[in-house]
């Protein structure tokens, strides 16, 4: 669930082998799905519309890779709702980003 701010969008959240191809506005959540048991961080792309929104017609916004600081854990048959909050995120440099290098 996106619990950042009204101007932050979350795209393509993933956790432990499960990825949701969605864009979440503030307060929105993915649909339930099955993932592998184990521990992982929640990985996603974030766009702050107040800072990195489209600059003009035809411009593409820049989404940056982030992950939760905390490691989440699920076991077989568990149901968890993970909230993405501003105090539990950091940039994720483990995946290629839109940095031009």
Segments making up each domain of the chain, as ranges: 2-91
Whether residue 14 has pLDDT greater than 90: yes
* 78 pLDDT higher than 80: yes
Give the lowest-confidence range in 39-48, 56-65, 76-85, 91-100. 91-100
In the chain, what is the greatest distance between 2 CA atoms, to the nearest angstrom? 47
Q: Is 82 helix (H, G, I), strand (E, B) or coil?
A: coil
Reference 10, options 33, 21, 18; nearest CA is 21
Give the predicted TM-score (pTM) of the model: 0.85
3-state secondary structure (DSSP) of residue 39 = strand
**Residues above pLDDT 70, as percent of the chain:** 87
Residues 88-99: tens digit of each pLDDT: 999 998 866 655
Burial tier of 18 (Cβ tally within 10 Å: 0-12, 13-18, 19+): middle
CB atoms under 10 Å from CB of 41, counted, come to: 21
């Amino acid at each position: 669930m996106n619990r950042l701010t009204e101007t932050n969008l979350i795209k393509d959240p993933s956790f432990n082998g499960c990825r949701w191809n969605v864009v979440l506005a503030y307060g929105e959540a993915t649909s339930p799905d099955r993932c592998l048991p184990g521990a992982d961080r929640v990985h996603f792309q974030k766009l702050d519309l107040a800072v990195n929104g489209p600059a003009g017609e035809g411009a593409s916004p820049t989404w940056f890779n982030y992950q939760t600081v905390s490691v989440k854990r699920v076991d077989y048959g568990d149901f968890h709702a993970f909230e993405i909050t501003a105090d539990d995120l950091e940039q994720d440099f483990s995946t290629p980003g839109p940095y031009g290098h």
